Amino acid sequence: MHDLYYWVALRQVCGVGNVIYKTLINHFKSPEKIFNATIEELKNVEDINARAIEAITGFNPTDEIDRKIYEILSKEINIITFNSPEYPENLKNIYDPPPFLYVKGSFVDGDKNSVAIVGSRNASEYGIKVAQEISRDLASLGITIVSGMARGIDSAAHIAAIQGGGRTVAVLGSGVDVIYPPENRRLFERIAENGAVVSEYPLGTRPNSYNFPSRNRIISGISLGVLVVEASPKSGSLITAKLALDQGRDVYAVPGNVYSYKAKGTHALLKSGAKLVDNARDIVEGLNITLKPLKENKGLIQGLSHELLEVYDFFQDEPIHIDNIILKTGLSSGRVSALLLDLELSGILKQLPGKMFTKC
């Protein structure tokens, strides 16, 4: 039986949600001890109900759980439990932390200095630019950027963090083996190489809409604060901001165009007390953390592969549409998209609205 068996098994017990799971772990210290506890010992646990006690004591071990664990590990996905030193310290302190996380990549001690950057999926050029600049500057100072790998602001924040030579964490509303949106596959790989892609959901879980509000509490829970760049009045980013406040985190917002619907959510946050931010220093000043010096990217062009140089050489002073690059190179659209993303992650190109690309 694998060491993780009881962690996964307890997650499947009816009536044991995140809050009760945390309470049980704090009391018994390990899931195995919970399953071995008597009814009287379980009754001594604060706030546990009779239904959960009956489900725990009546649980029947199966080989299926072990098979699932070995399948996960065979795909180079880690399970980080609440008791693991790798489990994000900030996340431990929220009301309902996940008992364990599925992780592609890894957490490091420096990730305790994290800031979440979230916003509209259908972001404006202004929103993308602000998210990139702040994310890149924070990352270059040693602050880990956390987001949800969605289109728009999320993706811009992840990409800029990698460009800044820093770390980034993506929290998914699906299993870590289900990449959503699908065009972010290459970004998913780069995030795993420069941080972690994480989820509380089992492998194979689809990105259903009802998963995302729960996912958002992890984004804010890992972080010291949450920056909302662009958000409409009903944006999921406002849910993240509310969760951040409930968790005692700082909330920041970027002002936008007063005539823009995408700015109404961020302006509402500012009116309710969020800190106005227009650069990374506005965030850094309020964080009681030790920062590292800015990094410089040198020799980027010289270090490019032949294929990347071939694409880069098409760029002069004017932006170019992705379709023109496909025509000029004769490569497939998927391959060109991957190469452009590599150049973007390296800080050599930047993407503009409408699938236009230009030199940084």
Nearest Cα to Cα of residue 114 among 158, 81, 84, 152: 158
Percent of the chain at pLDDT > 90 equals 74
**Mean pLDDT confidence for 89-98:** 96
**Which residues does 43 contact at the CB level (< 8 Å), separation at least 6?**
53
Cβ atoms of residues 343 and 349 within 8 Å: yes
**Mean pLDDT confidence for 57-86:** 92
Query: 306-359: what CATH class?
Result: mainly alpha
pLDDT range class, residue 293, cuts 50, 70, 90: low
User: Which pTM was predicted?
Assistant: 0.83
Q: What whole-number distance in Å separates Cα of residue 77 and Cα of residue 72?
A: 6
Q: Identify the pLDDT of residue 1.
A: 65
With the CA atoms of 165, 129, 170 and 104 taken in that order, what torsion angle do they form, in degrees rounded to the nearest 10?
-40
Q: Identify the pLDDT of residue 294.
A: 46
Strand partners, 357: 320, 351
Q: Identify the pLDDT of residue 317.
A: 77
> What residue ranges do the domains of the chain occupy?
1-74, 109-284, 306-359
Query: 109-284: what CATH class?
Result: alpha beta
Amino acid at 16: V
Q: Identify the pLDDT of residue 301.
A: 56
Tell me the three state secondary structure of residue 317. Answer: coil
Q: Identify the pLDDT of residue 44.
A: 95
Cβ atoms of residues 241 and 269 within 8 Å: yes
- Scanning the structure block, which residue is given the tokens 């390296």? 346
Cβ atoms of residues 274 and 228 within 8 Å: yes
Cβ atoms of residues 244 and 225 within 8 Å: yes
Q: Identify the pLDDT of residue 314.
A: 83
**Mean pLDDT confidence for 88-115:** 97
> CA of 46: how far to CAs of 40, 51, 52, in Å?
12, 14, 12
pLDDT range class, residue 67, cuts 50, 70, 90: very high
Sheet-wide strand order for 275-276: 78-81, 100-105, 195-199, 168-171, 144-147, 114-118, 225-228, 250-253, 275-276
Q: What whole-number distance in Å separates Cα of residue 287 and Cα of residue 223?
A: 11
Q: What whole-number distance in Å separates Cα of residue 311 and Cα of residue 349?
A: 11
Supply 67's token pair.
Answer: 């098979």
Amino acid at 286: G
pLDDT tens for 154-199 read 999 999 999 888 999 999 999 999 999 999 999 999 999 999 999 9
> CA of 134: how far to CAs of 2, 290, 327, in Å?
43, 18, 34
Supply 282's token pair.
Answer: 């506005």
Amino acid at 107: F
pLDDT range class, residue 316, cuts 50, 70, 90: confident
Higher-confidence position of 346 and 334 = 334
How far is CA 100 from its chain centroid?
15
Q: Identify the pLDDT of residue 30.
A: 95
Cβ atoms of residues 267 and 276 within 8 Å: no
Looking at the domain 1-74, which fold is it? DNA polymerase; domain 1 (1.10.150)
